[in-house]
Amino acid sequence: MEVVKEKARIREIVEEARAAGRIVGLVPTMGYFHEGHLELMRRARAECDLVVVSLFVNPTQFGPGEDLQAYPRDFDRDRGMAESVGLDYIFNPEPSEMYPQGFSTHVEVEGLSDILCGAIRPGHFRGVATVVAKLFNIVPAQRVYFGQKDAQQLAVIKRMAADLDFALEVVAVPTVREEDGLAMSSRNIYLTGRDRDDALVLARALRTAAGMIEAGERDVSEISEAMQGVFDALPSVNLEYIAICDTIYLQPLEELHGEVLIAVAARVGKARLIDNMVFEVE
Ligand code: AMP
């Protein structure tokens, strides 16, 4: 596995592979790998001839006062993990390679970017859409892999790829969880002591919703209230939102039908956590 720092070099590698008829997969990440990242990489490895993982802690998707400086980093460990799943290249640019002096173009996915997490993190999805559009150009893969864990990010990327005519397939990979149900995240490292137990409330609320839907409940407000009750039982956790919406426009649903996204966000100690489940409702 080779580590590539320059845009021109990784593009050349990928273009050569494509010219030779190979299928290229891209897995965009911010590093500090866990099983969720590895699952994306394994899936890409199984489906593509050449796999590039990008590792870039993108400064433009962090707001003022967010954890850009503190964001966990361990490149040597990440390199070993990526190598263990048989990846071909890590693209690991410096910020100046991605954002040279004079950089001033941004991608704004209207409508999807200022709701839910976007309402709480203004500018976040503009930063995400911009860096991902750049990565799609720098690493011209036919398949790109994203986690269902970040459901709004997935919706934003799918919209952007369609609207800007990127000729690639966005592959969604199911959320990987710890044994006790906590969705894996690089930010789980912020959870110490009691916060680690408290963090289970997100998955617990989602399981409550799942149980109700399974039992035939179709009333959105009933489900929402039951989930709210799960959070109310744990006042140390700061709930940001419970959303019951469609998976494409992320608009609130009045009645459950088709593909339904139930998403939650909450602050637990120093960590801001998100989680979701997708249901196919008859
Ligand atoms: P990040 O490094 O946190 O930006 O995540 C890189 C990619 O891994 C994104 O597409 C995430 O949605 C995905 N990802 C993060 N955590 C998980 C998880 N627990 N299960 C599946 N995918 C994940």
Q: What percent of the chain has pLDDT over 70?
A: 100
Q: Sign of the CA dihedral 241, 245, 251, 253?
A: negative
Question: What is the position in ligand 1's atom list of the atom closest to the CA of 147?
Answer: 12
Confidence grade of residue 282 (pLDDT, cut at 50, 70, 90)? confident
Residues in the chain: 282
Across the chain, what does the average pLDDT equal? 98
Q: Which two tokens stand for residue 242?
A: 């419970």
176 C-alpha to ligand 1 centroid (Å): 9
Same domain? 131 vs 217: no
pLDDT for 270: 94
Q: Is the pLDDT of residue 116 over 90?
A: yes
The model's pTM: 0.98
**Phi and psi, residue 73, nearest 5°:** -140, 140
The answer to whether 222 and 188 are in contact (CB under 8 A) is: no
Same domain? 8 vs 142: yes
pLDDT for 13: 98
Instruction: Provide mean pLDDT across the span 196-225.
Output: 98
279 CB-contact burial (10 Å; exposed 0-12 / middle 13-18 / buried 19+) = middle
Same domain? 97 vs 214: no
Q: Is the pLDDT of residue 61 over 90?
A: yes
Same domain? 109 vs 237: no
CATH code assigned at 215: 3.30.1300.10
Give the domain range for residue 218. 186-275
Confidence grade of residue 130 (pLDDT, cut at 50, 70, 90)? very high
Q: Is the CB of 36 under 6 A from ligand 1?
A: yes
pLDDT for 66: 96
Q: Which two tokens stand for residue 158?
A: 């799918």
Same domain? 212 vs 167: no
Q: Which two tokens stand for residue 247?
A: 């998976």
Q: Is the CB of 183 under 6 A from ligand 1?
A: yes
The answer to whether 210 and 223 are in contact (CB under 8 A) is: no
Q: Is 37 one of the annotated active-site residues of the chain?
A: yes
The answer to whether 24 and 45 are in contact (CB under 8 A) is: no
Same domain? 68 vs 155: yes
Confidence grade of residue 78 (pLDDT, cut at 50, 70, 90)? very high
Domain tally, the chain = 2
How many C-alpha atoms does 192 have within 13 Å on its Cβ side?
Answer: 2
Q: Is the CB of 185 under 6 A from ligand 1?
A: yes
